[in-house]
Every structure is written in structure tokens, then in C-alpha cells.
Amino acid sequence: MKRSAPMLLMSLALVAGCTSGSDPGPGAGDDSAVSSDMVQPMGGDLRIGEPWYLVGGMLESTPTTEVTLIFEEDTVDGEGPINSYSADYTATKDGALDLGRFVTSLEAGAADLERAETDLLVLLNAVDGYTTVDAGELYLFEGDLNILVYATTPPSDEPTISDETQATALEVLGMSEAEARAAVEGAEQLVLLR
């Protein structure tokens, strides 16, 4: 049975992703909260005037639209799954963050988007701390619990394929199925040994 190169690349990416044993980090396809031993409210650069994009958190309904948060000098604005929203805020260098009461536009939308927006606003109203990291992530906290994760770039629906996986895929192109399976299993064993 012959497989196309894109299908083989995707298969290799899935195998490598499932067997790497490494933690992809907070917000990487995981809507669970980050425990406080990983990240704590410590402050950082809120990137005044530049957007943050929602990539994860404790949302019961995951928005299917691009959700943003933009800190200005004294206000924070954003686009939710349906409506735009804004509030006053104060932040300290040590990570305290007080977001005022959010006001939103009053557009209606699909039930799933309305649930996602309600979940988001409830979490934003609970925020009392933040941390930013050099990798371009913003963690918003309620106490020591990370409840929302934002990034400097919007989330992508495109799967990411590591350089190692791409190299393995190029090696197996042109091989018989048995040879390709052996090569992929060998690459998988190397990943497990790391």
C-alpha cells in the first residue's frame, strides 16, 4: 500500500508528538489550568498597544474565533468570540493585575459563541495577577491558579512538524512500506531514548 508524502509527514508528526515524552507547555492544545509550580504571577511586559491572542485556559467552551486582549495605558480592550469589550486596569511590576468591570458591545451570536464569551468574561473578571515570558506568552491568574493563556501570535490550525520529523520523512520517501516502517520505528525509538 502506497502512502502520499503529506499523509506520511502527518503520520510521522503524530508519532513524534505522541512519543516525545516532553511537556508541550501550558496552552498547547490543553484547556487545563497551569499549576503554580510551573508559572506564578511575576509581572512583565504587557506589550502596550499590541494584541495578545487567546490560546488556552480554563474555558468550558473553546472559542472558534480569534480572541484578543490589548493593554493600553489605562484600559484593556479586546475582541471576544462575538463582541468587543473593554475595562480600566491597574498592574504592578510584581504581577498584581486588577481588571475593572468589563463593558461589551451587545451583539448576539450562535449559542456556542455566546457560552464561550460568557466563560471568557467570567474568567477575565476573576483575574488578579499576571506573568509574561520572553517566549511571547501572557499568563493570567486568579490567586496562584493560571486561568487564561495568551500569546503574541494567533493560534494556528496548521499542525507543526519538527525538523527531526521532516528529516525522517525525507529519508523514507522512495522506500518500500516495510523499509519506511522500520525507519520510522527506529526514529521513534531514538525519540524515546532522549
Distance CA 27, CA 54 (A): 9
**pLDDT confidence of 4, banded at 50, 70, 90?**
very low
Greater model confidence, 25 or 141: 141
Contact assessment for residue 64 and residue 117, using Cβ atoms and an 8 Å cutoff? no
Longest alpha-carbon distance in the chain: 63
**26: pLDDT strictly greater than 70:** no
Distance CA 161, CA 11 (A): 10
> Quick one: 105 exposed, middle or buried, by C-beta within 10 A (0-12, 13-18, 19+)?
exposed
State residue 127's pLDDT score. 96
State residue 187's pLDDT score. 65
Q: Domains of the chain: which residue ranges?
A: 51-151, 167-194
- What would the pLDDT profile of 43-90 be if each residue is shown by its tens digit? 899 999 999 999 999 988 767 789 999 999 999 999 999 999 999 999
**13: pLDDT strictly greater than 60:** no
- The CATH architecture that domain 51-151 belongs to is Beta Barrel (2.40)
**pLDDT confidence of 120, banded at 50, 70, 90?**
very high
- What would the pLDDT profile of 148-181 be if each residue is shown by its tens digit? 999 999 887 655 566 666 677 777 677 788 887 7
Greater model confidence, 59 or 124: 124
Closest CA to 120 of 74, 73, 90, 76: 76
Percentage of the chain modeled with pLDDT above 70: 69
Distance of CA 47 to the CA centre of its chain: 18
Q: Which three cell numbers stand for residue 89?
A: 486596569
